[in-house]
Amino acid sequence: MLLQCGDMSCTTILIGKAASYDGSTIVARNDDSGHGKYDPKRFVAVRPEDQPRRYVSEISHAVKDLPDDPCLYSIVPNALPGRGILAEAGASVRNVAMSATETIAVNERVLAADPMVALVPAVGEPGEEGYRPEQPGGIGEEDFITLVLPYVHTAREGVERLGALLERYGTYEANGIAISDVDEIWYVETIGGHHWIARRVPDDCYAAIPNQLGLDDFDLEDALGDQKEHMCSADMREFIETNHLDVSMDADPRHLSHLNPRALFGTRTDKDHIYNTPRAWYMQRYLNPSDDWDSPNARYTPISDDIPWCRRPENKVSIEDVDFLMSSHFEGTPYDPYGTRGTEETRRRYRPIGINRNGQLVALQIRPYAPEGNRSVMWISYGSNPFTSLAPFYANVTSTPDYLANTTGEVTTDSFYWTNRIIAALADPHYQANRNDIEHYREDVLSFGHRLVAATDAAVDSARADASVNNITRSEEPYVVSNDLADANQAMADYLRARTQQLLGSVLYTSSNLMRNAFSMSDR
């Protein structure tokens, strides 16, 4: 099987601590490959001694010297070479988490004012007439987590470091990046090659983000002043004014204190109405169901350009809600490709969230009630999200289970990624016939995962209490890792492997009986 890499697309949901079911901050994103391309994923821990001190971007060839004090962190990068590390999602021993990136778009005026910093290949050979050396590009999705996560202690500090890197090196693509800790979630959007804005997610809100510039309200005075809820490039006001980016009809110059970045910097195209806005519409439809979403008088429709970036949900949001939303395909609407409502045209009209090209989904949960050593949990799934389930893994470990870590280009059921992709391909043509088995699988994996986390937390707490009673001094190593966490991750992987194999068998049997060449008469 030939696998290629291409531009990434994805869907993100951010859940503030007062909007989540247990007071955690939750950052979730599924990582999708481009059309016709599939990127295998793996789950690995990066020890401080394995973090590079001199980093070279594979795509842009930019060279960066890194600090000498990285911490332990876990990531879910691409399994195959060719596009750099592409860490995608990660959490550190310092309980800072990061998701990178949500591919977005900025308009032509922005690109003219601050062009992307793309790699310019060398022309000719050294010594030849007209030779021009290579000009390295900026930083991008392949680099962000590796350059930021192991060096910061808070989400706010992460935004500051990322902003400084963007201003120094520039970027060759437009992206949204989420950075969280136990108290805050920040969302950063790149504006052209060197500029950026960031907003803190309100504690009692969620933010639903497809592949478009999402921020719709930004307090520039705060960003350039106290930075309580907003941050940005130091010259953002001058950048807007000099390049005539303000399109508001409000003649009062004070309106610039509150901007609509979506209007100033973003795009509004027919492609957005097919690919992006329907996903934001569906996520908000699910989390705020009392609103009118479907009548001719509905305030927001799948093609609305003004769907809010963030809202207060009607009920607190759980991991199960995240799993459903990031696996969804417009269930209960005429736009469900597996549904019976609407027409053949409506069922294929919009790009679903759960799509064949999902590579991984990670929900980064930082829990305030857990001790710092086991506070961060990475809920992980691989492959097409409608056919799999999130499963929890502790981030503060020095190694990860082979079933999730040793993904290669070989299609094998020894790999969680490949097994899930096989299941999806077998089940998709007969979705309704396989649906019950998939739903039972998700229920089993999620419930086992919650039980395992609760039991592991209790075991870690008990061990800590015993150490205190016996006056055992805790190690002063740069990072302290409990063996209980690695054991729990292995137990989760073992259960996941057995239960996924069981689902594969069920789906294979059901889909085999529904093959087009089936014939009911046997020889006996």
CB atoms within 10 A of CB 145: 30
- Mean local confidence (pLDDT), 274-290: 98
Tens digit of each residue's pLDDT (9 = 90 or more) over 317-336: 999 999 999 999 999 999 99
- Mean local confidence (pLDDT), 85-111: 97
Which of 304, 408, 424 shows the shortest CA–CA distance to 355?
424
- Mean local confidence (pLDDT), 280-304: 97
Tens digit of each residue's pLDDT (9 = 90 or more) over 458-481: 999 887 776 655 554 444 444 567
Alpha helix ranges (H) inside 201-269: 220-223, 236-242, 261-265
Tens digit of each residue's pLDDT (9 = 90 or more) over 340-357: 999 999 999 999 999 999
Tens digit of each residue's pLDDT (9 = 90 or more) over 203-254: 999 999 999 999 999 999 999 999 999 999 999 999 999 999 999 888 887 7
Backbone angles phi, psi at 439, to 5 degrees: -65, -40
Q: Of the ranges 184-198, 368-382, 417-431, 471-485, which one carries the lowest mean pLDDT score?
A: 471-485
| 289 neighbors 314 (Cβ within 8 angstroms) | yes
Tens digit of each residue's pLDDT (9 = 90 or more) over 116-144: 999 999 999 999 999 999 999 999 999 99
Distance CA 231, CA 265 (A): 16
pLDDT band for position 5 (50/70/90)? very low
E strands of 367-408, at which residues?
Answer: 376-382, 391-394
Residue carrying structure tokens 């060759």: 172
Residue carrying structure tokens 């962000």: 144
Mean pLDDT rounded to a whole number for the chain: 94
Q: Is the pLDDT of residue 522 over 90?
A: no
Distance CA 402, CA 409 (A): 15
Distance CA 182, CA 375 (A): 9
Q: Is the pLDDT of residue 4 over 80?
A: no
| 9 neighbors 353 (Cβ within 8 angstroms) | no
Tens digit of each residue's pLDDT (9 = 90 or more) over 362-410: 999 999 999 999 999 999 999 999 999 999 999 999 999 999 999 999 9
Which of 330, 351, 317, 300 shows the shortest CA–CA distance to 207?
317
Backbone angles phi, psi at 497, to 5 degrees: -65, -45
Residue 374, beta-bridge partner list? none
Catalytic center residues = 10
- Mean local confidence (pLDDT), 30-57: 94
> Whole-model pTM?
0.95
pLDDT over 70, % of the chain: 96
Q: How confident is the model at residue 478, as a pLDDT?
A: 42
| 115 neighbors 193 (Cβ within 8 angstroms) | yes
Q: How confident is the model at residue 470, as a pLDDT?
A: 57
Q: How confident is the model at residue 240, as a pLDDT?
A: 96
Give how far Cα 42 sits from Cα of 58, 74, 106, 126, 359, Å.
Answer: 19, 11, 31, 40, 10
Q: Tokens for 507? A: 């789906």
